[in-house]
Copies of this chain bind each other. A is one copy, B any other.
Amino acid sequence: MPAAPVSGRTLKQQVFECVRAAGTIPRVDVARQLAISPGSVTALTAELIEAGLLRESDAPRREGDASRGRPPVALGIRPEAGFAVGIKLSDHAHSAVILDFAGNRIGQASVRSDALQHDFDKLIAAAEAVLYDALRPSGLTLSDIRVVGLCLPGFVDHESGMVPWSPLIRERDLPLRAIFQDRIGRPVTIDNDANMVTLAELWFGAGRGLSDFASVTIEHGVGMGLVLNHRLYRGARGLGTELGHTKVQLDGALCRCGQRGCLEAYVADYALVREASTALNWGNRGLTDPHVLLESLYDHAKAGNEAARAIFHRAGRYLALGLANIVNVFDPSLILLSGERLRYDYLYAEEVLTEMSNLTLQTGRPPPKIEIHAWGDLLWAQGAAALALEQATNVAVGADAASAA
């Protein structure tokens, strides 16, 4: 018989999260949602109020409730109970977002970057700088921040705080969490960037209330975050869901990871750029900024250059194949596409979606919904802040012997 899975959350944590999810909620509704006794709720919320994490407020009257008298009492989070910061590092910009304890965004900052220069000291300095940029207008200081969440592309081991590989960092197996923690003197948590935009969708976006969805990101590379049963799935060993490196062609195009046939090697901008100089006949004009080359390729395709169109067409078809494989394996109800490169509309052209549908198992049901979310980087940073807030909450609410599995 299988070992019974244990939820790992104490009842007190569940009560707290129930209140945060609701915003404002009467005790009796907390008891009903968690299927526990009103007495337990009263006892646990008393501890949470005592600890300065919850407060009482007037509950909004239910519709049709014409009674005068004293309005019913509800529970809410004390927003000033603590703050968390999230930072997104990328090849084109670094961004930071501050959340209060109730999850409201109360500060933000962004700076342009060219992190592909691979200078690690500059990268860390830039991360610190954007953190202070976000703090300054809010009137908070670093000591007000309970946890800082940091996300970046590549293979990031959230549990151990190590970065086995990132396109932004030349070194392999870097203990990034420890390094940044030492530098700023506050607790740090790190994760892959695609996971964080997925967490943001789960907490604040289209994923609220969905049990299972996939979020595919197209930036310098191709990433994915998966939510299974309302929780971010990081793979069984913590480095999972590397959609960009699933193989779509045996012995195919060379990927920057060193292997051949990865989805990224057909869809990412570097994959387009390396064919661009051929298509544009730029071979003898020497090296050009890849962003300039890509923009030019895109303009030529729009203007009818067949070679340029063929490059985007192939990239779109491989993206369709990659998305179809996600559907064939996970059968999610929703796939979100986001990331900086979605301003290239060939990535979600009607023909790409049709091809995806044609490569998906025909079971008689409609294919999953695809939504394009051209959020800026701030949503990614907000996801990293949510991760940090979750960690801060676990520490603040604490473990509790009365945990129910």
B329 touches A246 (CB 8 A): yes
Contacts of A258 in B (CB 8 A): 362
Stretch at the interface among A29-37, A59-67, A276-284: A29-37
Q: How far apart sit A235 and B238, CA to CA, in the bound complex (Å)?
A: 20
Most buried by B among A211, A242, A329: A329
Contacts of A361 in B (CB 8 A): 155, 239, 242, 245, 257, 259
Complex interface bits, A1-43 against B, C-beta within 8 A gives 1, otherwise 0:
1111111000100100110110000000000011110000000
| Chain B residue at minimum C-beta to C-beta distance from A329 | B241
Q: How far apart sit A199 and B371, CA to CA, in the bound complex (Å)?
A: 34
B250 touches A318 (CB 8 A): yes
| Chain B residue at minimum C-beta to C-beta distance from A322 | B247
Instruction: Kindly identify which residue among B103, B228, B250, B359 contacts A233, using a CB–CB cutoff of 8 Å.
Output: B228
Q: How far apart sit A248 and B329, CA to CA, in the bound complex (Å)?
A: 13
Most buried by B among A2, A324, A331: A2
B172 touches A5 (CB 8 A): no
Instruction: Kindly identify which residue among B2, B318, B324 contacts A202, using a CB–CB cutoff of 8 Å.
Output: B2
B331 touches A236 (CB 8 A): yes
B242 touches A328 (CB 8 A): yes
Q: How far apart sit A243 and B325, CA to CA, in the bound complex (Å)?
A: 8
A1 touches B17 (CB 8 A): yes
Contacts of A188 in B (CB 8 A): none
A208 touches B321 (CB 8 A): no
Known interface pairs A208-B2, A236-B331. Does A363 touch B165 (Cβ–Cβ under 8 Å)? yes
Known interface pairs A235-B331, A236-B333, A364-B164. Does A33 touch B4 (Cβ–Cβ under 8 Å)? yes
Contacts of A324 in B (CB 8 A): 246-247
B230 touches A35 (CB 8 A): no
| Chain B residue at minimum C-beta to C-beta distance from A77 | B1
B328 touches A245 (CB 8 A): yes
Q: How far apart sit A54 and B154, CA to CA, in the bound complex (Å)?
A: 51
Most buried by B among A1, A238, A317, A331: A1
A359 touches B325 (CB 8 A): no
A404 touches B36 (CB 8 A): yes
- Residues of chain A at the chain B interface (Cβ within 8 Å): 1-7, 11, 14, 17-18, 20-21, 33-36, 103, 155, 164-165, 172-173, 202-203, 207-209, 211-213, 224, 228-231, 233-243, 245-250, 257-259, 261, 317-318, 321, 324-325, 328-333, 358-359, 361-365, 368, 401-405
Known pairs A34-B405, A228-B233, A261-B359 / 20 extra A-B pairs, C-beta < 8 Å: A2-B202, A2-B208, A2-B230, A3-B230, A7-B7, A35-B404, A35-B405, A164-B364, A165-B363, A212-B235, A212-B236, A235-B330, A239-B361, A239-B363, A241-B330, A242-B361, A245-B328, A257-B362, A258-B362, A259-B359
